[in-house]
Amino acid sequence: MTASSPSPDHARRFALCLLPVYPLLAIAGALSHRQIFALLALALLLTVLLLPPMLARRGAAWLLWCAVLAGLLLVWMGGFAGLLLEAVPVLINALLAIWFGRTLATAEPLVERFIIAIEGAERLQQPGVAAYARQLTWFWTVLLGAQALLLTVLLLCADHSGLLQRFGVASPLQVPERWAAAWLHLGCYALLALAFLLEYGYRRWRLRHLSHPGLHDMLLQLALHWPQLVRGKPVMPS
């Protein structure tokens, strides 16, 4: 990395600052039915995902960004940007549920990786921590899987814009389009944020015999170590 290139940590922080704009563009596209908002939302999400390696001047990341952006432009020209945008929350929840769930069959459930990243491996040796980590991995697997199913129903059954309506199939459940759009692009993320905050408070109560990192520090460590966590590599706490 050259002296003028931002550090990976700074790049990730900058990318996270852009992320709140995504649901605003998604909601605008869903409610206005203007494909340009859907295109901008998808382009922003792509940029957030690839921004750290792009700022590190990695040619492969820039080529991938240009190629996917060109694909998004073709999708937009074909009038399918809105449909692709509506599928994003379903895919995110389903993939996260699979990610959490597949680690339950191993000796290291996913939440244990988070604990190691934030507090170190020795934290797992403290009373109740390892058992709670596995239980919490179950919790997120079930919550994310259930929400993926709910979002699929909304995507299929929303009146006017649901997939069943678009393909001329009578929907067994009529969901108001505005409610479906609001939950698809905002409510589902708000639920996950609320569940995270409630679980953090419950954890502090249940494991009250232990000290706990502050919420800001915990979120910062997760954001900074996210790539290693996704790849399943060992992470040392900062």
Residue of 19, 156, 147 lying closest to 94 (CA atoms): 147
Q: What is the DSSP string of 63-80?
A: HHHHHHHHHHHHHHHTT-
In this structure, the answer to whether residues 201 and 172 fall within a common structural domain is: yes
**Residue 80: phi, psi to the nearest 5?**
-110, 10
**Pairwise CA distance, residues 192 & 140, whole Å:** 9
Among residues 47, 64, 79, the one where a domain terminates is 79
In this structure, the answer to whether residues 116 and 70 fall within a common structural domain is: no
In this structure, the answer to whether residues 48 and 162 fall within a common structural domain is: no
**Residue 44: phi, psi to the nearest 5?**
-65, -45
Number of domains within the chain: 2
**pLDDT, tens digit (0-9, with 9 covering 90-100), for 122-142:** 888 999 999 999 999 999 999
Domain extent for 172: 85-238
**Cβ neighbourhood burial of 136 (10 Å; 0-12, 13-18, 19+):** buried
In this structure, the answer to whether residues 23 and 117 fall within a common structural domain is: no
Question: Looking at the predicted structure, is the pLDDT value of residue 148 above 70?
Answer: yes
In this structure, the answer to whether residues 98 and 55 fall within a common structural domain is: no
Q: What is the mean pLDDT of the chain?
A: 83
**pLDDT, tens digit (0-9, with 9 covering 90-100), for 84-133:** 888 888 988 999 999 999 999 988 899 998 888 788 888 889 999 999 99
Among residues 59, 79, 99, the one where a domain terminates is 79
Among residues 79, 99, 127, the one where a domain terminates is 79
SS3 99: helix
